[in-house]
């Protein structure tokens, strides 16, 4: 198992431990402890609800109900991580490729894999999104390619990058990562439900991990002989779309295009412009 696979396992397990254990502890503290003493309130949140309900709800029942909500919504999020990609592909309008598109895709895959001495896995499934976009992205285990990019001169370079994701743990990692509550869900802590607390606390490490996976996929493209072409694609197609992120580089899970260009140039300087 590669070093990055161990890093991913540490991050995903650590995120869920914090999420379920520490999060549950916070739920218990919020509802069962008199944390409002600063405001002069002599009752816990659960006691206040019990009093307002006229005794219809007991303290233990209120705490257990809140824990059920907390764990239940996490179960919903896990289900979304499993089935969400189907909805995302539907929203994109992704379709099955035509015979001509399939032949074109297979021809480029074959030309790329011939330049590599080892075994190269190809995408098991891929689809086409019609329109004027120039993107390729993984939606679940399916690679969705914009029609305009499919016929562009830089498609081989972009595909070589995505073959790097195919030949690593990246796709599985993204599927498991998608099961974590999104960071914005931490707003639930206001009502004693600290969703995404594990995700938020480890997010700088997650951002670093995802940036490294993009750099690794670029290096794979270099090994397939597509380094110079990928440099041109990044410089001509994608750098103009790059935007800064709040928090800067530390909180940006995708590297800046200029960073990718620098890494690729460094790799080419070490191994030469063509790698067989």
Please spell the DSSP secondary structure of 33-94, one letter per residue: S-GGGGGT--S-HHHHHHHHTTTSS-HHHHHHHHHHHHHHHHHHHHHHHHHHHHHHHHHHT-
Contact 235, 182 (CB under 8 A): no
Q: Are 182 and 203 in contact (CB under 8 A)?
A: no
The partner residues of 145 in beta bridges, in order of sequence, read 128, 136
**In 3-state terms, what secondary structure has residue 185?**
helix
Q: For the full predicted model, state whether its pTM sits above 0.75.
A: yes
Kindly tell me the burial class for residue 246, based on how many C-beta atoms sit within 10 Å of its own C-beta (0-12, 13-18, 19 or more): exposed
- CA end-to-end span of the chain: 24
Count of CB atoms situated within 10 Å of the CB of 244 = 9
Angular region, 57: left φ>0, alpha ψ -120 to 50, beta rest: beta
**Side-chain-facing half-sphere of 85: CA atoms under 13 Å:** 20
- The pLDDT value recorded for residue 200 is 96
Q: What is the pLDDT tens value at each position of the chain, 276 positions in all? A: 467 789 999 999 999 999 999 999 888 887 777 665 555 666 666 666 666 666 566 666 667 788 889 999 999 999 999 999 999 999 999 999 999 999 999 999 999 988 676 788 889 999 999 998 999 999 999 999 999 999 999 999 999 999 999 999 999 999 999 999 999 999 999 888 999 999 999 999 999 999 999 999 999 999 999 999 999 999 999 998 888 777 677 788 999 999 999 999 999 988 754 443
pLDDT of residue 275: 42
């Amino acid at each position: 198992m590669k070093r990055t696979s161990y890093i991913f396992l540490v991050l995903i397990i650590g995120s869920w431990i914090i999420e379920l254990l520490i999060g549950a502890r916070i739920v218990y503290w919020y509802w069962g402890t008199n944390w409002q003493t600063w405001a002069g309130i002599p009752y816990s949140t659960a006691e206040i609800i019990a009093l307002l309900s006229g005794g219809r709800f007991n303290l233990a029942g209120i705490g257990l109900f809140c824990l059920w909500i907390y764990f239940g919504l996490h179960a919903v999020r896990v289900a979304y991580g499993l089935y969400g990609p189907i909805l995302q592909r539907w929203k994109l309008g992704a379709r099955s490729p035509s015979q001509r598109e399939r032949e074109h895709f297979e021809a480029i895959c074959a030309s790329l894999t011939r330049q590599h001495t080892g075994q190269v896995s190809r995408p098991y499934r891929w689809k086409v999104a019609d329109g004027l976009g120039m993107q390729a992205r993984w939606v679940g285990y399916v690679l969705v390619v914009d029609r305009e990019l499919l016929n562009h001169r830089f498609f081989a370079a972009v595909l070589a990058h995505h073959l790097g994701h195919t030949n690593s743990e990246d796709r599985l990692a993204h599927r498991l990562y998608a099961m974590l509550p999104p960071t914005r869900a931490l707003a639930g802590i206001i009502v004693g439900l600290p969703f995404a607390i594990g995700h938020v606390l480890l997010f700088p490490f997650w951002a670093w991990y995802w940036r490294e996976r993009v750099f690794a996929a670029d290096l794979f493209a270099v090994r397939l002989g597509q380094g110079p072409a990928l440099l041109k694609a990044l410089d001509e197609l994608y750098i103009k779309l790059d935007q800064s992120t709040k928090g800067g580089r530390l909180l940006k899970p995708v590297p800046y295009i200029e960073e990718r260009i620098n890494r690729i140039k460094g790799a080419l300087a070490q191994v030469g412009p063509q790698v067989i």
